[in-house]
A = this chain, B = another copy of it.
């Protein structure tokens, strides 16, 4: 056991932090998200090879592991990156799990061609990732047609294609759908964290089956594992970013003739933020350690991480918001964006209550 990053991993972290710090500082980000988000940033991200960082070399990836992925997500969290990186990674994980030539081909498109993929899985009134899809797929010649509703499809507007879940005869199926295809009504909107999402109404929409039955369930479980690692790592970056902005702010803001940072209650609150972050980082390591482990062990760790990620990010960013006083409530201060991202992260694909209940079911 050695929990220190190796040299390549350290270099990857340094270069990601440097690149995002320079090309995607707070002002650049504000401009970028107006473009919702701009394709320019994705091009650079692709050129840096990030979408393939954790994908196999024979698919055109860099052959890294969950560690490289987490490093990138953490740095993106620190910079409040907005874009389809996470959605694509979740889909890549599901596709790798699905195997087969078509899935491999799609993985290769992600790894080497910068394809962006959205996961259309949640539905109206749904609570989270483990809800069974009520959208239905029916065979039609060589292909399928899906009818149903999909809700909160993150990053669909930018996506090259979507993976859509639907009920079929032997359980659940994972299908490939092109977003601008006919037979699909779509509404794009922004989320409170300035991310992008869409609602879809599918009405006999043509779709290509990628994987079905138990194998599809395994693909979704793999997707969930990568989702949890991704959000967990992003939450680390978000929380550290929030702590760092808050430390800086209380170090310059004066009240009652003293720096805010001279007040012991403020010092101790910063310390508590640090403690929470330590805990989250450790949970992330624990979840990464189950990558090659048994499915139950991996599921437990992923559920625990999702719960902690949402709660710690919301708590730390909420503390940071409070310590910024009135200024924190403004759109011009980074902390208000950290907090909004944290709130969305907490609710994304199911909130803490949802995943804690799932964890509690596995408690023995």
The docked-state distance in angstroms from the alpha carbon of A32 to that of B295 is: 62
| Nearest B residue to A269, CB-CB | B265
What mask results when residues 120 to 132 of chain A are scored 1 for a CB within 8 Å of chain B, else 0?
0000000000000
| Nearest B residue to A268, CB-CB | B265
The A interface, classified by DSSP as helix, strand, loop or mixed, is helix
Q: How far is the CB of A40 from chain B (nearest CB, A)?
A: 48
- Counting every copy of the chain, the complex holds 2
Q: In this complex, which of A263, A265, A268 has the most chain B Cβ atoms within 10 angstroms of its Cβ? A: A265
The docked-state distance in angstroms from the alpha carbon of A360 to that of B349 is: 29
CB of A8 closer than 8 Å to a CB of B: no
- Number of contact residues on A: which range applies? under 10
CB of A6 closer than 8 Å to a CB of B: no
| Residues A233-269 near B (CB distance < 8 A) | 263-265, 268
The docked-state distance in angstroms from the alpha carbon of A268 to that of B265 is: 8
| Nearest B residue to A266, CB-CB | B264
Q: How far is the CB of A35 from chain B (nearest CB, A)?
A: 45
| Nearest B residue to A264, CB-CB | B264
| Nearest B residue to A262, CB-CB | B264
| Residues A259-299 near B (CB distance < 8 A) | 263-265, 268
Q: How far is the CB of A54 from chain B (nearest CB, A)?
A: 44
| Nearest B residue to A267, CB-CB | B265
| Residues A24-61 near B (CB distance < 8 A) | none
The docked-state distance in angstroms from the alpha carbon of A265 to that of B263 is: 9
The docked-state distance in angstroms from the alpha carbon of A264 to that of B268 is: 10
Q: How far is the CB of A259 from chain B (nearest CB, A)?
A: 14
Chain B neighbourhood of A268, CB < 8 A: 265
Q: How far is the CB of A113 from chain B (nearest CB, A)?
A: 55
Q: How far is the CB of A273 from chain B (nearest CB, A)?
A: 15
The docked-state distance in angstroms from the alpha carbon of A263 to that of B267 is: 12
The docked-state distance in angstroms from the alpha carbon of A265 to that of B270 is: 13
Q: How far is the CB of A299 from chain B (nearest CB, A)?
A: 29
Chain B neighbourhood of A265, CB < 8 A: 264-265, 268
Chain B neighbourhood of A263, CB < 8 A: 264
The docked-state distance in angstroms from the alpha carbon of A269 to that of B268 is: 12
The docked-state distance in angstroms from the alpha carbon of A133 to that of B10 is: 66
The docked-state distance in angstroms from the alpha carbon of A264 to that of B263 is: 7
Q: How far is the CB of A274 from chain B (nearest CB, A)?
A: 16
Chain B neighbourhood of A264, CB < 8 A: 263-265
A-B complex: 5 closest residue pairs judged by Cβ atoms: A264-B264, A264-B265, A265-B268, A265-B265, A263-B264
Please report A residues at the B interface, Cβ cutoff 8 Å: 263-265, 268
Residue pairs across A and B with Cβ atoms less than 8 A apart, 5 shown, are A263-B264, A264-B264, A264-B265, A265-B265, A265-B268
